[in-house]
Chain A
Amino acid sequence: MSKLTPPVNKNDHTQGPASAPLTLVEYGDYQCPHCGAAYPILKRIEHEYAGRLRFVFRNFPLSNVHEFALPAALAAEAAGKQQRFWEMHDLLFQHQDELSRMAIQEFAMVLRLNIPVFKMDLQDKALEEKIESDFESGVRSGVNGTPSFFINGTKYNGAYDQRSLSKAIAEHLQPA
């Protein structure tokens, strides 16, 4: 069974309490339509299990087939340097159909980011390396497409509709 390698760590973007009994990791691509479809479902799941679930997003951009996958991932990471990763993450998925370099600039303005710093960070090799290292960790963990999910470190191979995901999470939360 495929294991999350490396485990969730300080380099990850997380939502929800670190002490949560359940950690859900998504490997995703901001331009992947399936990830776009999963986005509102994950929001509902996070709401349903608030306080008991920690959500983690790792980048898995298919840059050759999705022109804006890497620019979008960089935008989220650059926003993260201004402590606004999740706000950018939300905007990117909410406006997935309109993704462009221009749109990314607009999102940065909507979030009132420091634009010169944001633009500089988009060029930062270290951010690109972070994204690559997310990708490599995905490959090593057995990610074979997006979105891929890990529940408490183990690859989840079921469907990502709300009922299936919620059921899998509930099963993990039940005391053994």
Chain B
Amino acid sequence: MLQKNDLAPDFELFATPDQKFALHELRGRNVILAFYPADWSPVCGDQMSLYNEMLKFFKKFNAELLGISVDSKWSHMAYMQDRKLHFSLLSDFNPKGETARKYGVYDEKESTCERALFVIDGNGIIQWSYLSPVAINPGADGIIEALENIQQNKHEYV
């Protein structure tokens, strides 16, 4: 699994049925990558539904959230509509798990992404990463802390 100070590998994945999205498009902004095993977790403990309520907080840190799983773009579309998600879910579908592998968070046995978080700074450098047990929603306290650290360091160097 990639760690702090590693370069975040670029990727290009479907974000909608007819549109691809590349990581480098977000250069200059902080990025939260949330790899997760599958769409359709039960609502009240659903990691993506939780993050969906936090977009306002992430925005304060100039951070963009991207969810990534091996589900198809069609599953993502239905799941996003059902949960009213206001951020992009990327489909690591073909070749399956290629992006997760680049980040070292592909579960070969289950053929899904692990539940893993990466916070990447505006220069494309990973500043924080976290691997969660698959069944446990890691919440967002670690993400917020990482974003605060990025913000603090920036102030120190400017």
Contacts and interface: CB of A to CB of B under 8 A. Distances in A.
Interface majority SS (helix, strand, loop, mixed), chain A? loop
A139 B47 CA distance: 12
Contacts of B46: 65, 145
B50 interface: yes
A145 B137 contact: yes
Contacts of A142: 139, 141
B52 A64 contact: yes
A146 interface: yes
B139 A143 contact: yes
A97 to B, nearest CB: 16
Contacts of A64: 49, 52-53, 83-86
A29 B50 CA distance: 12
B7 to A, nearest CB: 29
Nearest to A144: B139
Interface in B55-103: 56-57, 83-86
Most buried by B among A132, A142, A145: A145
Interface in A57-106: 61-66
A144 B45 contact: yes
A46 interface: no
Interface of A: 2, 29, 32-35, 61-66, 132, 135-136, 139-146
